[in-house]
Amino acid sequence: MKAARLLLVIVLAAAMGAILYWWYAPVPQAPPAEVAEPVSAPEKTPVPKIRHPLPEAAPEEGEGEKAEEPLPSLDESDPPLRQALADLLPERPLEDLLILRNIVGRVVLMVDALPRDSMPRGRLPVRPAPGDFLVEHGPDGPVVSPENDRRYAPYVRLIEAVDTDALISLYLRYYPLFQQVYEEMGYPDRYFNDRLMQVIDHLLETPDVEAPVRLVQPKVRYRYADPQLESLSAGRKILIRIGSENAAVLKGKLREIRDALIEAQMR
């Protein structure tokens, strides 16, 4: 299967003018020829080297004609992706937990935002956890309630149930679309899989925080009382918010995915 390559070209042009100097001899002689200072060409920003190149997805044995189907366009990718996810996670409440519209775009946006300060609400592939963020009031002030972990348990169970090898095969098949969206987001010279690996490593370095996690409420929303925790990225805050046991499960799955992606590079 040959994945279609879609290119987004942004042409940046820059012009530099040459400064000319004229020198004239003090005696009445023919003026010397004009001499122009050499103008060096502007330095081009080097294109980042791809660190984690992926192979093209190969048909799996036994899939027959289904494996030979051409990759759908981005606009037509939702139906086959929904079916693929349903096959990957049978008897799981996908619609209750995930938003299965513009799937590729939402995934790319989420991955790119996780190491940043905030997440773009309403544009992610994951539905908000039901209920309110649970807080208890201890002797030293508000803390994250241990009951809060239950709100995130269905999401953690869903991720834990995913067959990692099957997930990577699905990712490889649709990788050209992930790359297309990443370029259209404003990264024409970047490689999405490099960003994904960078984000996985970033999340795996999330500090382990022992309960209870103290909070402050300067205005309406709660914040972490520890300035170091409050300064963490959105993705790391999520891993702390869901509780240490849930975070350990997700980190384990992230390590599996990372190892599988490294193995895929060697095919």
Long-range CB contacts (within 8 A, 24+) of 88-93:
88/162, 88/163, 88/166, 88/167, 88/170, 89/158, 89/161, 89/162, 92/158, 92/161, 93/154
pLDDT at 29: 41
What span, in angstroms and rounded, lies between the C-alpha atoms of 26 and 217?
Answer: 79
Decide: 147 and 134 in contact? Cβ < 8 Å.
yes
pLDDT at 59: 56
What span, in angstroms and rounded, lies between the C-alpha atoms of 58 and 55?
Answer: 8
**Positions in the chain whose pLDDT score sits under 50:** 1-41, 62-65
What residue ranges do the domains of the chain occupy? 20-265
pLDDT at 44: 57
pLDDT at 208: 95
Residue 22's nearest CA partner among 32, 13, 14, 12 is 32
* Whether residue 212 has a cis bond before it, omega within 30° of 0: yes
pLDDT at 91: 79
